[in-house]
Amino acid sequence: MSARLGVTYRVRSDAASIEARAQVIAVEQSVEMPLEAIDEPTVLRDIVGEVQSIEVLGDDCFAVRIGLAAATIGSDAGQLLNMLFGNTSLHDDVVLHDVAFPDAMVAGFGGPRHGIAGLRRRAGAQHRALTCSALKPQGLSADRLGALAERFARGGIDYIKDDHGLADQDYSRFAERVRACAAAVARATQATGHPTRYVPSLSGDLNAMRRQLALARELGLDCALLAPLIAGFANMQALAAEFSDVAFFAHPSLGGAARIAPALLIGTLFRLIGADAVIFPNYGGRFGYTPDTCRLLADNARAPRDGLRPSLPVAAGGMTPGRVPELLDFYGADAMLLIGGSLLAARERLTEETAAFTRAVAAHAYR
């Protein structure tokens, strides 16, 4: 018996067709050819996907669990995504809902190098929730972004991430921006005594991102942001292995395009391939995730799991400081709150509003 992943798809279908539909998915995500044309017994036994269960969810929706051979994936995170949902993503009646991994595969991918403990250590905050803001808008010069970063840091924030739109544009080169922001945050941390971390956003191909990380490390930075669905899962995996001293924040950009359940994609898969923190759209903000989705996503990111460090859930997307108590009651202390636009909207009072945000998080009494 070879090891298998238990992959759950949610499928729209009528009851009469669901068994055949499930079998089609099992074939599509494994050998992708008529079984009657396969005469190799080991392929039929060990490689072809197998329908393990079909559960009625109601409203013409079914949970179909397919066993996919771990051997078809090996240790390549890109191939993981390819085998989980490559061709089946092209069928619009199917959502990739959940995956149960064999233990050896989880250990092989390895997950976060730093995780929640490493991000707490960087921020010098052992018990409370962590705080984050975002540098934007894109279009500002490196100096202007640096000045913003300094004001956030003077408000005592833990992490300042680049907006994921900041890349290596003509008007704001990565190198120039990162130098300006790293220096600005260093000045502020000297003044405040709080070890605020600047988290630059990586972009381009793998080698461009490697050069960006090398520069960041040279400037004393130990965190970086990237979007796994833009960068490619295998490249995220490679960077996490090569820059093992860097804590990686994963951004959900393009995460909606493929009909993968957010809790699986952002909570489980981003963690599996090495994200130390996973940013996701919080309920009640600019995006449509429900509280249940957010809770499940956060649970997937940080729940104890043999051999994997927990990844820090970072709730983001249209949040306001007024929601801090509600959100910390909801997520607990093993979380990071990311508030960008509504702090920037304070304009000349940015540092003061940031300080109020960080104080509210520090003062929260967890239930």
What is d(CA 146, CA 113) in angstroms, rounded to the nearest whole number? 28
Q: Where are the alpha helices (DSSP H) in 56-102?
A: 77-85
Closer to a second copy at the Cβ: 189 or 235? 235
- Report the Cα 40 to chain-centroid distance in Å: 40
Q: How far is the CB of 128 from a second copy (least distance, A)?
A: 26
Of 183, 162, 153, whose CA–CA distance to 357 is shortest?
153
Binders of a second copy among 57-116, rule CB under 8 A? 69, 71-74, 76, 78-79, 81-83, 85-93, 96
Asked if 320 is part of the footprint of a second copy (rule: CB under 8 A), the reply reads no
Of 8-16, 51-59, 112-120, 339-347, the segment contacting a second copy by CB under 8 A is 339-347
Asked if 144 is part of the footprint of a second copy (rule: CB under 8 A), the reply reads yes
Q: How far is the CB of 31 from a second copy (least distance, A)?
A: 3
Binders of a second copy among 237-276, rule CB under 8 A? 237-238, 252-260
Q: SS3 string of 240-272?
A: HHHCCCCEEEECCCCCCCCCECHHHHHHHHHHH
Asked if 286 is part of the footprint of a second copy (rule: CB under 8 A), the reply reads yes
Count the helices and strands in the chain (H runs, E runs): 16, 12
Query: Strand 61-69 vs strand 50-58: parallel, antiparallel, or unpaired?
Result: antiparallel
Tokens read off for 244: 């093992």
Closer to a second copy at the Cβ: 16 or 257? 257
Pick from 10, 21, 120, 164: which binds a second copy (CB under 8 A)? 164
Q: How far is CA 38 from CA 35, 43, 182, 245, in A?
A: 5, 8, 58, 47
Binders of a second copy among 168-187, rule CB under 8 A? 168-171
Closer to a second copy at the Cβ: 95 or 116? 95
Pick from 186, 192, 342, 360: which binds a second copy (CB under 8 A)? 342
Pick from 3, 117, 206, 333: which binds a second copy (CB under 8 A)? 206
Of 103, 88, 14, whose CA–CA distance to 56 is shortest?
14
Of 8-16, 123-131, 175-183, 224-232, the segment contacting a second copy by CB under 8 A is 224-232
Pick from 12, 19, 24, 186: which binds a second copy (CB under 8 A)? 24
Which helix (DSSP H) or strand (DSSP E) does residue 175 occupy? helix 174-192
Binders of a second copy among 33-62, rule CB under 8 A? 33-34, 36-40, 42-43, 46-48
